[in-house]
């Protein structure tokens, strides 16, 4: 044995003194002083293998020490006890508890390690000899199955990156144990090369962290909730009986008549809380949240490197750079660097099977995440209990939005049915379908297109009346008021949930979370600090010499850099390249979207000209429908593809900005993603609604693209029907393909791929295949939770489809309602069965999404005003009816909107090749515009009718916008944000809490007065004695007074 190695066999397996544990120090073992010094020296020598210096400078053979430790000469007492269990999986409930079957697993850390054939042999030897020894406590060794094993002398050339990760894990886990957490490692799993660290938070740690996080917990005080009286009580009871069949069968959904008073947890005031059952006082959601907060703030600033020679030494700079990314806060940076591959809390248990114990997950699967209960209310309180407030608020908002779509769908269907009922009474469409009018229209394209009869577009004209009728104006006003009512209703619902979930007064803790820096921000600041220090030393000429202590100096610089991060921060100059990249990137992406839409326009024009050459009359008559349908399908495919691309680009642009906090990161990401996806989804619709047919020109003077493609025109009945087709196909296609098929298909495909990979690994190791999977292994195979941004985003885009262009498609709310009924259960099934359990996050609102919803609602008023006035024929009809109609009817409206053109005024090469296609020679053709006739002095100039209609359109936009905005603000003002009963309950809680503390203070004062009276009586008794007091009597007297002082 070398002189620097440690003979660990000399430590007796069972010392007579034993380790002493003081609960006040969170599990730190206290040893006798005479042995403590010796063990400290031993621990120092063992810890030399974690030194930042290369191994050869210390003279320690790292591999040998590691091998001695891993072969099993050192074993923890808990490992010995665990090895004596006959069925450890039954005791730990298959991974939900530690191997002692008592301590619950609150969190899991997952890491990858390399397991060779040598290590497998050593692992077997460990498990056979578990009862042969015990271990002293070290911060790098965890109880449980498995451990890192050395490969022996033949594998001296180790993977230094893996070695670095292992050292970081050991340091980090040691720091976690210093913070009071209890850890247990398991590498003996069915998943090859994957190790798990189970984390348990004991009671004292939970209390400490709950006080630090200001978690509101229920107290012993119970008070009565104000109930409705009289007529309201009867109405509520009737509604409750009617809705009983659609209520979920969970305890949390039953109406409560009493409520426990809640107060931020305090260890000094534990007597206020009901601690009769400590195991259930902090539920699994709260426990995982507390552990995650500890994981986030646990430092990882003393990374220990084991650097070898040769090739390993070359990785020095790489490891140092990776150390910069470790940052000030642990788990986020460790996950980013691959030190740990995953971190997640466990699900409560299985959700399917005959012998499965009833748990919250199984209950959610049966009463929430099932398509068979689509007609029931959601168990929002149980969702919040299991997933946390943030996810609970999302599903509550989705439920409120879906409920509010019911009246909107009913009114939309009525408007559509009104159009169907009045289509035969619509005079303009009847005039267009009447062949006796013999209206000859000008060609739709040059050369290949010929003259055509207006009656050939009869079907389009009749269909457009279904969506372009006086009822659509009413429906637009209704939907604007509906959006305002929805927002107010949600604010009131949100306030009720805040009261029920004890989130009132949550702002202080929220501000603390806002100020929590992200790991990437800390790394950037550290890099800036080191660069600044290097430049400063270079200017002063204090650069270190290139000596053998170069590595020591560089590590010291890194360690000093952590302190420098408190002084530095990123300024706009540091972020300017990222801001410039963001600006250029967003402009480029928006330009790309416009370019694609422009390409689709070219496709429409060229395809229409090509189909006009068709020899069959049916082919020529269906040109407009064919071109529109194919172009919309192309737009839909492009939108779906670009949506995924823009989501990734938005995340990358936000990452290079390096926002300081997670909240800032999320808000910037949402803004960029929403901007890009909004432009992507609505640009084709905006083109059809406001640009198509506006810049066509006139016969004889058309506008051309690239001097060859003539701009396309709207149908004689207007572009509203085409807008309806565009909106309906994009909305339905997006919901069916992207929102539903992708959400179902992609997770299933990923699950299948993981299953195939695991099957291959199991075939390699039959021994691992025969083991039963633990809970944390099953959860590891689930998809990680990626946040709520995609879920909110698809609903906000749908909200835009429902409100922005609702004047052109009254059935949009109905299709949104049908989609959301499926979406709620689909998302629920995904959260319960397909995803790892997310960390519960407290939130009192839906954040920036509320502002986006308000913005979309305001924008909807403006867009619908322009759709009604410029895209539909509603305003031209009103102008004709009240200004030009001779008999007060709509007879003659079609002829009034058409201008005349003399075919002899065609430009050379633009006249039809076959002018006799209709069977007669055409001299005058008609086109839709307000222009002077060819026999006028100012032929083909814009007529006065055009300006009259334009003035009426602009006036309508102004009046409609201001009227609807005023009505929306009136609805906002008249409906209070906080329900009256909730505000009364909140006030009642404050009064009751003051009473509780006043009674407590009075009790303390009475107790002090009682003690004071007793003390005074003792003093009088002492004064009645003889003045010659002995020293012992004096001592007793002083002790009497000291008792009073102590109290």
For 404-425, the pLDDT digits (tens) are 999 999 999 999 999 888 888 8
pLDDT at 399 over 90: yes
Strands 697-698 and 258-264: unpaired
Bridge partners of 194, per DSSP, are 112
More confident position, 189 or 231: 231
Inter-helix orientation angle 789-803/389-422, to 10° = 20
Residue 232: count of CB within 10 angstroms of its CB: 10
DSSP 348-397: SS-SSSSSPPP-HHHHHHHHTS-GGGTTSPP-HHHHHHHH-HHHHHHHHH
The dihedral over CA atoms of 821, 823, 824, 828, expressed in degrees to the nearest 10, equals 140
Burial grade of 916 (CB within 10 A; 0-12, 13-18, 19 or more):
exposed
For 437-466, the pLDDT digits (tens) are 778 888 888 877 888 888 888 888 888 888
Strands 182-186 and 144-145: parallel
pLDDT at 14 over 50: no
Bridge partners of 218, per DSSP, are 262
pLDDT at 499 over 50: yes
- What pTM was estimated for this model as a whole? 0.79
For 616-651, the pLDDT digits (tens) are 665 556 677 788 888 888 988 999 899 889 989 999
For 662-674, the pLDDT digits (tens) are 888 888 999 999 9
Which range of 104-108, 304-308, 531-535, 1006-1010 scores highest in mean pLDDT? It is: 104-108
Long-range pairs for 419-423 at CB < 8 Å and ≥24 separation?
A: 419/465, 419/466, 419/467, 419/469, 419/471, 420/466, 422/465, 422/469, 423/462, 423/465, 423/466
Q: How far apart are CA 429 and CA 161, in angstroms?
A: 76
**19 closest CA partner among 130, 141, 180, 138:** 138
pLDDT at 595 over 90: yes
For 15-31, the pLDDT digits (tens) are 333 333 333 333 333 33
The dihedral over CA atoms of 590, 595, 601, 604, expressed in degrees to the nearest 10, equals -120
* Per-residue confidence band for 1021, with pLDDT thresholds at 50, 70 and 90: low
DSSP state of 928: E
The predicted structure's pLDDT at residue 1022 = 59
**67 closest CA partner among 165, 188, 156:** 156
Sign of CA dihedral 226, 229, 232, 237: positive
For 651-665, the pLDDT digits (tens) are 999 988 888 888 888
Q: What percent of the chain has pLDDT over 90?
A: 19
More confident position, 549 or 203: 203
């Amino acid at each position: 044995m070398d002189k620097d190695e440690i003979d660990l066999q000399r430590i007796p397996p069972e010392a007579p003194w034993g380790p002493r544990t003081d609960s006040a120090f969170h599990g730190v073992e206290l040893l006798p002083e005479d042995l403590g010094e010796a063990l400290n020296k031993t621990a120092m020598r063992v810890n030399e293998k974690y030194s930042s210096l290369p191994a050869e400078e210390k003279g320690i053979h790292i591999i040998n020490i590691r091998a001695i430790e891993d072969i099993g000469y050192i074993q923890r007492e808990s490992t010995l006890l665990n090895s004596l269990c006959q069925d450890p999986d039954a005791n730990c409930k298959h991974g939900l508890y530690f191997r002692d079957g008592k301590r619950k697993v609150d969190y899991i850390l997952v890491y990858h390690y390399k397991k060779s054939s040598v290590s497998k042999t050593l692992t077997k030897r460990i498990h056979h000899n578990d009862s042969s020894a015990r271990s002293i406590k070290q911060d790098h060794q965890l109880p449980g199955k498995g451990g890192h094993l050395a490969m022996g002398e033949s594998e001296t050339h180790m993977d230094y990156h893996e070695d670095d990760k292992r050292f970081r894990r050991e340091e980090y886990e040691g720091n976690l144990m210093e913070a009071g957490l209890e850890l247990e490692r398991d590498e003996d799993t069915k998943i090859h090369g994957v190790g798990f660290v189970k984390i348990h938070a004991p009671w004292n740690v939970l209390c400490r962290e709950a006080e630090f996080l200001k978690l509101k917990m229920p107290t012993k005080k119970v008070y009565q909730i104000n109930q409705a009286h009289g007529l309201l009580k009867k109405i509520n009871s009737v509604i409750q009986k009617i809705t009983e069949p659609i209520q979920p069968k969970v305890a949390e959904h039953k109406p409560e008549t009493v409520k426990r008073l809640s107060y931020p947890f305090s260890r000094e005031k534990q007597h206020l809380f009901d601690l009769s059952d400590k195991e259930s006082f902090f539920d699994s959601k709260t426990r995982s949240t507390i552990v995650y907060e500890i994981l986030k703030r646990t430092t990882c600033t003393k990374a220990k490197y084991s650097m070898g020679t040769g090739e390993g030494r070359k990785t020095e700079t790489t490891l140092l750079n990776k150390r910069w990314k470790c940052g000030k806060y642990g788990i986020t940076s460790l996950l980013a660097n691959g030190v740990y591959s995953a971190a997640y809390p466990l699900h409560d248990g299985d959700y399917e099977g005959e012998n499965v114990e009833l748990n919250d997950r199984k209950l959610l699967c049966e009463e929430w995440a099932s398509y068979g209960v689509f007609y029931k209310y959601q168990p929002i309180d149980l969702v919040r209990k299991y997933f946390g407030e943030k996810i609970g608020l999302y599903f509550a908002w989705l439920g409120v939005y879906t409920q509010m779509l019911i009246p909107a769908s009913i009114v939309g269907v009525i408007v559509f049915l009104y159009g169907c009922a009045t289509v035969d009474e619509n005079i303009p469409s009847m005039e267009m379908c009447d062949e006796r009018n013999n209206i000859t229209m000008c060609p739709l394209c040059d050369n290949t297109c010929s003259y055509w009869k207006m009656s050939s577009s009869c079907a389009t004209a009749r269909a457009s009346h279904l969506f372009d009728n006086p009822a659509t104006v009413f429906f637009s006003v209704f939907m604007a008021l509906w959006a305002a009512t929805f927002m107010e209703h949600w604010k009131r619902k949100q306030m009720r949930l805040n009261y029920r979930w004890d989130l009132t007064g949550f702002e202080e803790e929220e501000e603390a979370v806002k100020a929590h820096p992200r790991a990437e921000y800390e790394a950037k600041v550290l890099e800036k600090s080191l660069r600044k220090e290097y430049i400063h030393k270079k200017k002063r000429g204090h650069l270190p010499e290139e000596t053998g202590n170069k590595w020591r100096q560089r590590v010291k610089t890194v360690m000093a850099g952590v302190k420098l991060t408190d002084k530095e921060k990123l300024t706009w100059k540091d972020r300017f390249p990222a801001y410039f990249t963001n600006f250029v990137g967003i402009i480029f992406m928006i330009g790309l979207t416009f370019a694609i839409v422009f390409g689709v326009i070219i496709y429409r024009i060229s395809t229409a000209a090509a189909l006009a050459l068709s020899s069959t009359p049916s082919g020529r008559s269906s040109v407009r429908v064919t071109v529109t349908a194919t172009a919309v399908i192309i737009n839909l495919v492009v939108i779906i593809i670009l949506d995924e691309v823009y989501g990734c680009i938005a995340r990358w642009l936000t990452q290079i900005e390096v926002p300081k906090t997670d909240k800032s990161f999320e808000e910037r990401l949402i803004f960029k993603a929403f901007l890009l996806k909004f432009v992507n989804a609505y640009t084709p619709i905006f083109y059809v609604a406001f640009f198509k047919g506006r810049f066509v020109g006139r016969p004889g003077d058309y506008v051309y693209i690239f001097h060859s493609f003539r701009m396309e025109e709207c149908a004689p009945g207007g572009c509203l029907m085409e807008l309806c087709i565009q909106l309906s196909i994009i909305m339905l296609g997006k919901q069916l393909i992207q929102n539903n098929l992708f959400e179902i298909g992609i997770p299933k495909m990923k699950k299948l791929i993981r299953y195939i990979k695991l099957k291959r690994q199991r075939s390699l190791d039959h021994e691992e295949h025969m083991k039963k999977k633990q809970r944390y292994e099953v959860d590891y195979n689930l998809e990680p939770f990626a946040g709520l941004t995609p879920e909110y985003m698809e609903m906000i885009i749908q909200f835009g489809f429902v409100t922005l262009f609702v004047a052109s498609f009254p059935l949009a709310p109905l299709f949104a309602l049908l989609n959301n009924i499926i979406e709620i259960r689909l998302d629920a099934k995904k959260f319960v069965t397909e995803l790892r359990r997310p960390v519960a996050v407290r939130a009192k609102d839906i954040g920036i999404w509320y502002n986006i919803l308000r913005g979309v609602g305001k924008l909807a008023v403006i867009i619908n005003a322009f759709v009604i006035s410029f895209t539909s024929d509603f305003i031209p009809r009103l102008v004709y009816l009240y200004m030009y109609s001779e008999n007060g009817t709509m007879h003659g409206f079609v002829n009034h909107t058409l201008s005349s053109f003399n075919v002899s005024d065609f430009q050379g090469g633009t006249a039809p090749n076959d002018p006799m296609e209709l069977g007669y020679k055409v001299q005058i053709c008609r086109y839709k515009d307000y222009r002077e006739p060819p026999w006028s002095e100012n032929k083909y100039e814009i007529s006065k009718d055009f300006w009259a209609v334009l003035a009426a359109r602009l006036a309508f936009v102004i009046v409609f916008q201001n009227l609807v905005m005023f009505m929306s603000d009136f609805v906002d003002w008249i409906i209070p944000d906080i329900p009256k009963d909730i505000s009364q309950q909140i006030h009642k809680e404050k009064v009751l809490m003051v009473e509780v503390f006043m009674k407590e203070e009075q009790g303390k004062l009475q107790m002090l007065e009682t003690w004071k009276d007793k003390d005074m009586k003792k003093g009088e008794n002492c004064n009645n004695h003889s003045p010659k007091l002995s020293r012992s009597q004096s001592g007793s007297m002083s002790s009497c007074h000291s008792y009073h002082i102590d109290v």
